[in-house]
Amino acid sequence: MNEENKISRRKVIGGLGMGIAAVAVSPVIGAAKATGFGSAISYKLEDPVTKYPKPPFKAEFQPWPGLASKMNPRPDHGETTYKGSGRLTGRKALITGGDSGMGRAAAIAYAREGADVAINYLPAEEPDALEVVALIKAEGRKAVAIPGDLREESFCKRLVEDAVKGLGGLDILVSNAARQQVHQSIADLSTEQFDWTMKTNIYAPFWLIKAALPHLKPGSAIIGTASVQAYDPSPDLFDYAITKAATVNFVKSLAKQLGPMGIRVNGVAPGSIWTPLQISGGSTAEKLSKFGGETAFGRPGQPAELGSIYVQLADNSASYSTGQVYGAAGGNGQP
């Protein structure tokens, strides 16, 4: 081999090494410019204070459950910013509330990490869900869409069965769907509304986990979505806050029960995140106008900023993490 060929070969190998190192060090590129959501991918440092829009926001309302695709500004779920590196190759995930918010961010991230994904959502959320399905398929992964109401135990059982059938198995369960509605006083909270919140946020995870357990092998992961409300509850979210505190406890209790089986159970506790929950009855006009302004960054978080947490909790590299609740609340909310 002459000297010129030796030099060329060294350059190629060196370039490959740098590329591999870059992927290993930076599997997630959370890189929207401050001028708009998902406008560019960047390897540079980003200022979290100016990364996304800040209040004041124009108060907007949609009929419950609301659509992310009709929000202004539109939430960033990582559609153009999340870059995977094969961390979940071959895995099979079921995500409730996968049409928008943290569920959508997790679905996009999982697909880009190599997982096949089934999402559940309400029929009214079909437009958002179809966008997620298209994004999953664009990564060459299986996408299974299963609409339905989680308040029915029979549907929860069928949801798991359909997900297992469509994906060819199941080893990640993300229980993320939730109902959040503002009530200024407990006197204004009807038994029907209270029951709706409890069944969506607490009964559904109970039914889903029971149905999924026979399919989960050692190494599988269960992830619940809690909230800053579990630690610092708002007076007008009495029923929702109760369910999120319960989610923290179910994560910690179930982790001890399922640990000997090799199944990890963890949770994510978001703070003020810009999702349809807020504009479809989950917040007041006054709160919406300054939403997220109370945080250290002076802005609400975006679902995309939590996608990598859901990936980490499902990844085999987090094999010693169970019974943990990972916060993402802009400096607020943890005990």
CATH number for the domain including 183? 3.40.50.720
Q: Do the domain assignments include residue 48?
A: no
Would you state the structure tokens that stand for residue 13, as one six-digit string? 């190998």
Supply the pTM of this predicted model: 0.87
Output the furthest CA–CA distance in the chain (Å, rounded).
Answer: 86
Would you state the structure tokens that stand for residue 217, as one six-digit string? 């092998």
Instruction: Please tell me the total count of domains within the chain.
Output: 1
Determine which one of 52, 110, 121, 240 is catalytic: 240
Q: Do the domain assignments include residue 55?
A: no
| CB of 150 closer than 8 Å to CB of 173 | no
- How far is 121 from 292, CA to CA, in rounded Å? 26
Q: Do the domain assignments include residue 285?
A: yes
Q: Do the domain assignments include residue 50?
A: no
Q: Do the domain assignments include residue 261?
A: yes
Query: In the annotation, is 240 catalytic?
Result: yes
Q: Do the domain assignments include residue 291?
A: yes
Per-residue pLDDT of the chain in tens (335 residues, 90 and over written 9)? 444 444 343 443 344 333 333 333 334 333 333 334 444 455 789 999 999 999 999 988 999 999 999 999 999 999 999 999 999 999 999 999 999 999 999 999 999 999 999 999 999 999 999 999 999 999 999 999 999 999 999 999 999 999 999 999 999 999 999 999 999 999 999 999 999 999 999 999 999 999 999 999 999 999 999 999 999 999 999 999 999 999 999 999 999 999 999 999 999 999 999 999 999 999 999 999 999 999 999 999 999 999 999 999 999 999 999 999 999 999 987 76
Q: Do the domain assignments include residue 44?
A: no
- Residue 77's contacts (CB-CB under 8 Å, 6 or more residues apart) are 68, 100, 101, 104, 105, 108, 302, 303, 304, 307
Q: Give residue 217's domain range.
A: 66-328
- How far is 335 from 332, CA to CA, in rounded Å? 9
